[in-house]
Amino acid sequence: MIKKTTEIDAILLNLNKAIDAHYQWLVSMFHSVVARDASKPEITDNHSYGLCQFGRWIDHLGHSITMNYLTFG
Protein backbone atom coordinates (compact mmCIF):
# COMPACT_ATOMS: atom_id res chain seq x y z
CA MET A 1 0.00 0.00 0.00
CA ILE A 2 1.41 3.38 -1.01
CA LYS A 3 1.22 6.10 1.61
CA LYS A 4 1.45 9.85 1.22
CA THR A 5 4.48 11.68 2.58
CA THR A 6 2.37 13.35 5.27
CA GLU A 7 1.10 9.95 6.43
CA ILE A 8 4.64 8.60 6.62
CA ASP A 9 5.77 11.68 8.55
CA ALA A 10 2.92 11.22 11.04
CA ILE A 11 3.76 7.54 11.49
CA LEU A 12 7.44 8.33 12.09
CA LEU A 13 6.60 11.15 14.52
CA ASN A 14 4.34 8.85 16.52
CA LEU A 15 6.99 6.13 16.46
CA ASN A 16 9.63 8.55 17.77
CA LYS A 17 7.30 9.66 20.58
CA ALA A 18 6.53 6.05 21.46
CA ILE A 19 10.23 5.10 21.51
CA ASP A 20 10.99 8.10 23.74
CA ALA A 21 8.23 7.02 26.12
CA HIS A 22 9.63 3.47 26.07
CA TYR A 23 13.08 4.69 27.09
CA GLN A 24 11.51 6.70 29.92
CA TRP A 25 9.68 3.53 31.00
CA LEU A 26 12.95 1.59 30.82
CA VAL A 27 14.68 4.08 33.13
CA SER A 28 11.74 3.85 35.54
CA MET A 29 11.93 0.06 35.42
CA PHE A 30 15.64 0.08 36.25
CA HIS A 31 14.98 2.46 39.16
CA SER A 32 12.29 0.08 40.43
CA VAL A 33 14.61 -2.92 40.17
CA VAL A 34 17.42 -1.16 42.02
CA ALA A 35 15.01 0.10 44.72
CA ARG A 36 13.20 -3.27 44.85
CA ASP A 37 9.93 -1.42 44.33
CA ALA A 38 7.22 -3.59 42.81
CA SER A 39 4.41 -1.07 43.31
CA LYS A 40 4.30 0.31 39.76
CA PRO A 41 1.70 -1.50 37.62
CA GLU A 42 3.18 -0.05 34.42
CA ILE A 43 6.20 -2.24 35.17
CA THR A 44 4.91 -5.24 37.12
CA ASP A 45 1.46 -5.83 35.63
CA ASN A 46 1.07 -8.92 33.43
CA HIS A 47 -0.26 -6.62 30.72
CA SER A 48 2.22 -3.79 31.28
CA TYR A 49 2.89 -3.63 27.53
CA GLY A 50 -0.63 -2.21 27.15
CA LEU A 51 0.12 0.51 29.70
CA CYS A 52 3.15 1.69 27.73
CA GLN A 53 2.81 4.18 24.88
CA PHE A 54 5.17 2.08 22.75
CA GLY A 55 3.13 -1.08 23.36
CA ARG A 56 -0.06 0.75 22.44
CA TRP A 57 1.63 2.10 19.28
CA ILE A 58 2.67 -1.41 18.25
CA ASP A 59 -0.83 -2.77 18.96
CA HIS A 60 -2.38 0.03 16.90
CA LEU A 61 0.11 -0.46 14.05
CA GLY A 62 -0.47 -4.20 14.06
CA HIS A 63 -4.23 -3.65 13.92
CA SER A 64 -3.81 -1.19 11.03
CA ILE A 65 -1.61 -3.59 9.08
CA THR A 66 -4.06 -6.45 9.67
CA MET A 67 -7.01 -4.32 8.55
CA ASN A 68 -5.14 -3.20 5.40
CA TYR A 69 -4.23 -6.81 4.61
CA LEU A 70 -7.81 -7.99 5.08
CA THR A 71 -9.16 -5.10 3.00
CA PHE A 72 -6.71 -5.42 0.10
CA GLY A 73 -5.62 -9.07 0.45
Q: What is the pLDDT of residue 68?
A: 60
Q: Which domain holds residue 10?
A: 5-72
pLDDT computed for residue 55 by the predictor: 80
Q: How many domains does the chain have?
A: 1
Give the C-alpha distances (Å, rounded to integers) separating 56 from 1, 23, 24, 41, 61: 22, 14, 15, 15, 8
- Dihedrals phi, psi of 47, to nearest 5 degrees: -115, 35
- Taking the mean position of all CA atoms in its chain, how far away is CA 32? 20
User: What is residue 50's predicted lDDT score, i.e. its pLDDT?
Assistant: 74
Region for 36 from its dihedrals, namely left if φ exceeds 0, alpha if ψ lies in -120 to 50, beta otherwise: left
Evaluate whether 39 touches 4 at the Cβ level (below 8 Å). no
Could you state, in chain order, the average pLDDT of each consecutive group of 10 residues for the chain (73 residues)? 83 87 87 87 77 78 61 53
